[in-house]
Structure 1
Amino acid sequence: MQAILPDYYLHIGVDHFIAMMPSKSNDLEGNIKKDGFYWRETVLPDNTTGYQIQSGFYGMKVNNAYRNTVAYLVSGGFRLIVDDVTNGETEMKIWRSVLAPYDTVYIAVYCDLNILEERERNRKK
């Protein structure tokens, strides 16, 4: 997107913030409850098992810092591409509130499960 948009845009993503966290605060490989981010097993609409990301107290603080950083940059006149995976409607409401004063376009990305699984396998390398 940065290459094709006519103006300059900074790219910021929640993964940048997760990368700054101490590894001991997260469990993104298994489902051990942590103070940062971790997976929780859940039943999907088709009655299969899936996983949903969860936030401990430290993860919530990091998420708030991420959103506050986005708001600060936008308030400073920067155009942003914000890369985030929202965890349901509650989180979308928070983003809408944070970005309410600004012109914002939300883009949803959907992909086939096989493609998603392949991307996650490649991501761990």
Structure 2
Amino acid sequence: MYAAEHPDYPEAEDSVVSILGNDPMLAEVLMSSEHGPQVVHHLGTHLDEVVQLASMPPHLRIAHVARLEARLSAPKPKPVTNAPAPVPTVGGGAAASKDPERMSVEDWMAWRNSQR
């Protein structure tokens, strides 16, 4: 439960209600949202945003809260690392050739024919 993990949640909620008053549409949106408590907590700690909401018509309040919910529930981007780039791998080159003096007759003939 979100409120149990954030001890300042009740105070944040009271701050939002004291500024916005009774807005049944907004309350319904927040209570039906999976991230409603997180949105209320954010608003309660950003009272300037709540004051801005209070000056909006109801339909714009809902849109603003929906955008806020999307932003708060978005997955956090992976941190960028300062690690150096991986070391390049060494590509394969030509196979090492055998010493012709140590080759079998068949290998020497194949080697000699490939030299032509």
TM-score > 0.5 by shorter chain: no
Higher helix share: 2
Larger Rg: 2
TM-score range, shorter chain: under 0.3
TM-score, structure 2 normalization = 0.24
Higher strand share: 1
TM-score, structure 1 normalization = 0.23
